Structure 1
Amino acid sequence: MNLDLLTAVTIFVLGVLVGFEVISKVPSTLHTPLMSGANAIHGIVVIGAMFIAAASHNAIGYVLAFVAMAFGAMNVVGGYLVTDRMLHMFRTRPAAQGKDGQRPESAQEATTQGSPAQNAEVQAP
């Protein structure tokens, strides 16, 4: 094993250990927002895979570049989907509607329709 390979493996192992320690210290309430944003960083992986594909001259290089681009693209798209889903949780819900699509005219009619959370919003003064 030459010195360059040993240095690269050492940096990789240290990166894995430090990454594991940092991620394990993140509280669960912050894990999803942080990871969905961090997954967008995988766009750099896609660019790196493009460089590998451009510099490759054999089938193994092309296959590795394709796999790296596919996984990187899936991670970027997944990160944005998780972020979008998370942001949907914070949107306000529409007011309770009657059977014909109109708002109920009385509080009594509102309590017979919709979810309990919607009913509490309608009854609040």
Structure 2
Amino acid sequence: MNEHLLTEITVFILSVFIGIEVISKVPTTLHTPLMSATNAIHGIVLVGALLVAGTAHAPLGPVIGFLLVVLASLNVFGGYTVTERMLQMFRPKAPRPTKTDVDSTISVDTIGQPKENRAA
């Protein structure tokens, strides 16, 4: 391996460990804003994947670039889907129907008949 590649791998491994340490220290109340910030970072990753795909010169380069774009796109859309589901957990739920909302005049012999044909 050349020295440049070894340096890049070292920086990548160190950034993974630093990222794990930073994320593990985030309080629970800040996870939703953190998800939004990571969605922005995923957008930057998608731009980088497009640049790699556009400047590839090796025979296998465009194939790998296309794969990078597909995976980065899945990452972005998946992040927004997860964030939307998290936000739905905090929305107020629709009120449940009360007992007075239910038609209590239904008996066994009127099931299946239209409401206007039922005898009172």
- Residues 4, 58 of structure 1: alpha-carbon distance in 2 compared, 3 angstrom cutoff: closer
What is the aligned length?
100
2:109 aligned residue: none
Report the Cα distance in structure 1 between the residues aligned to 2:49 and 2:36, rounded to whole angstroms: 21
Q: For residue 9 of structure 1, what is the aligned residue in structure 2?
A: 9
Aligned to 2:117: none
Tell me: CA distance 1:99–1:6, structure 2 relative to 1, closer, same or farther (3 Å): same
Moved over 3 A (4+): 27-33
Name the CA shift for 1:37/1:79 in 2 (closer, same or farther; >3 Å). Answer: farther
Tell me which residue corresponds to 2:42. 42
After TM superposition, the structure 1 = structure 2 runs for residues 33-72 of structure 1, keeping only pairs within 5 Å, are: 33-72=33-72
Whether contact under 8 Å (1:45, 1:68) holds in the other structure is no
Gap runs ≥5 in structure 1: 101-125
Question: TM-score of the superposition, structure 1-length normalised?
Answer: 0.65
Whether the 8 Å CA contact 1:39–1:76 is kept in 2: the answer is yes
Q: TM-score, normalised to structure 2's length?
A: 0.68
Consecutive unaligned residues of structure 2, counting only runs of 5 or more, are 104-120
RMSD: 2.2
Q: Distance in 1 between matches of 2:70 and 2:102?
A: 47
Alignment-mate amino acid for residue 86 of structure 2: M
Whole-angstrom distance in 2 between the partners of 1:96 and 1:28: 30
